[in-house]
Structure 1
């Protein structure tokens, strides 16, 4: 039965693939190999399959290379944009701080002028009271003097024989009264003029105070708008950084606290500060908001330092493909990821650290171990060349080795591990989180 089926297939394929014979001639004999239609069809099918597989594999490698190059370019663009945003925020913060200081200086100058005007007004009121008191004293003295003068004239009239109600006495009284009235009128006129001048100064001072208060209110509204914009920008910029560390399984507050321990130096002379009536430093609402923004910008700077100290960057920047993931493989645990690329492809440090091993190790071949902050270590295996030494400090982005196929390896690739406190974790956790930064 199978023979009949094969014969039928050969008969049907005979139309397109006629039987071929391959003659092999030697000195003594001539032989031939018969290529039946079914055999030819099988060979063609196998060849077509191999061609299709080679085409698909080449296309996948080409597409993956293009996407890898595009991702690297996008990482560089995102990092540059992040740097430019931080620089812009820093410049705007400095500008707003300068404007706030200038406004505060103008306000202090205006308040000083108002204080001088109020002092002048108080001095005018005090002088007015002194003049009123002086006029009262003058009036009392004049009345007493007039009484003494009248007594003296009465006595003089009696001595001279002139009556106390004589015309001379009345005329003298009238003349003295006119002089007194003229003196008092002049004094009162001068006092009224000084009072009017003091009232005019007071009104001008009140107008100036109202104008300064209006300018201060407008400045406060403008500052509130500026601070609101800055607070929003800082909040938006902080969110991706918080997300980076949370995706990597790390507490952002713990990261900041640890980084600040190494960047907390202070110094310089200490000068006195102005205190309010409550005995505390005079910090307004805007000043408190500015201090809060400065603290958040400082946290952003600490985040940037932490990013350089933690392995968020890629150790391979050239075109490559992930040839093996983290996890169980062939019944054993594969504690890293494999990145395949040609021999000699540069390997870079993904974060600042110290080389703790640069040697041959069984299974890994040429191996480099780097210790980073927070108990994190990274491993780089199967290297063709090691470019660092044990104890050497390396920076993020520094070339440390070349890709190879040493140790237990089927081809050139990088075996990349990340360990926290000695326990291996999936490096893709940090690689994916780092896409929000690089």
Structure 2
């Protein structure tokens, strides 16, 4: 038997160090070739580190949240044959991993060190009581599986890292847990004194840093405008009915992307990046639209490149592809960088007004709120119309308030008269 040492790989772009975000294995686990061992976080994206060999994990080289240099020892695996340990100049260091992201503290009593949780006994109930608004850790596939089975995910005890709910946990719940259906109801009224300390690492740390940087460096101001989207929603429904089966269904987002592209022709100062250190504004002809997307690890912004050259269905397909890649953690660094203006939407949860934070170094972000039906006065008559607010933010250091208002008014005009989106 020999030892195969896997070093932190050179991910490119001159990156000298990365953050170890999460382990997918532990000491003693048997792994196979191409199995994902760990996730590491660069400035731009999450990257999977696969195993190049079959073997048994004998040492881990870091803990989640630790910043590791490229070339340092990531993991050591016992393999058949000689391995590659003699080729490695770096020593093998065994470090016990901290349970990712969560350490429990009961009744606010100080503890010197969080104990490593013991394996759950085989007879442990597959059910667990969580708060009604608590979102358990689970992959999108597991969430869909639970929805298909009619299972409330918050009631299922997770056996994965940090309590992540796995597919087998759903099967265990179905097989053993339904007889205890009354237990969560009783537990919901019990007093609770527990607390959680959540380590801010990986994607959450990057998001926190970027949001803090954006609010400290840019002079944010927001502008909200109400838009009548009745006509464009009718057009969207018509196109979906006529072409949905052959070309795919259209959401409102590709229409918004098209409206941005057309409006930016008259307001090029919005499609720009501001280098505040060099005091240089770069206006770009290409429109690379960042589409803010929520994933299990936090907010990501994949980029629809050259939106100015895309049709409605081309934009729709690219938005869908990028959103799925982001949610599944498969978006590449290139797909998550290079945007020139950002579009953000919470869909049906969009609320009435929001104040989106700029995606620096961009100077504008357009936020979409939910569509509601309301009585409106049109040509002296009270009629029911579909209304939606755009809540947008701008960098006041380089964008004047009048220009921002005119820009959003231009988008409003395009959406309320959707034929103008396609008139050249």
Kindly indicate which of the two structures has a greater share of residues assigned to strand: 2
**Structure index of larger Rg:** 1
Please state which band the TM-score falls in when normalised by the shorter chain: under 0.3
Query: TM-score normalised to the size of structure 1?
Result: 0.19
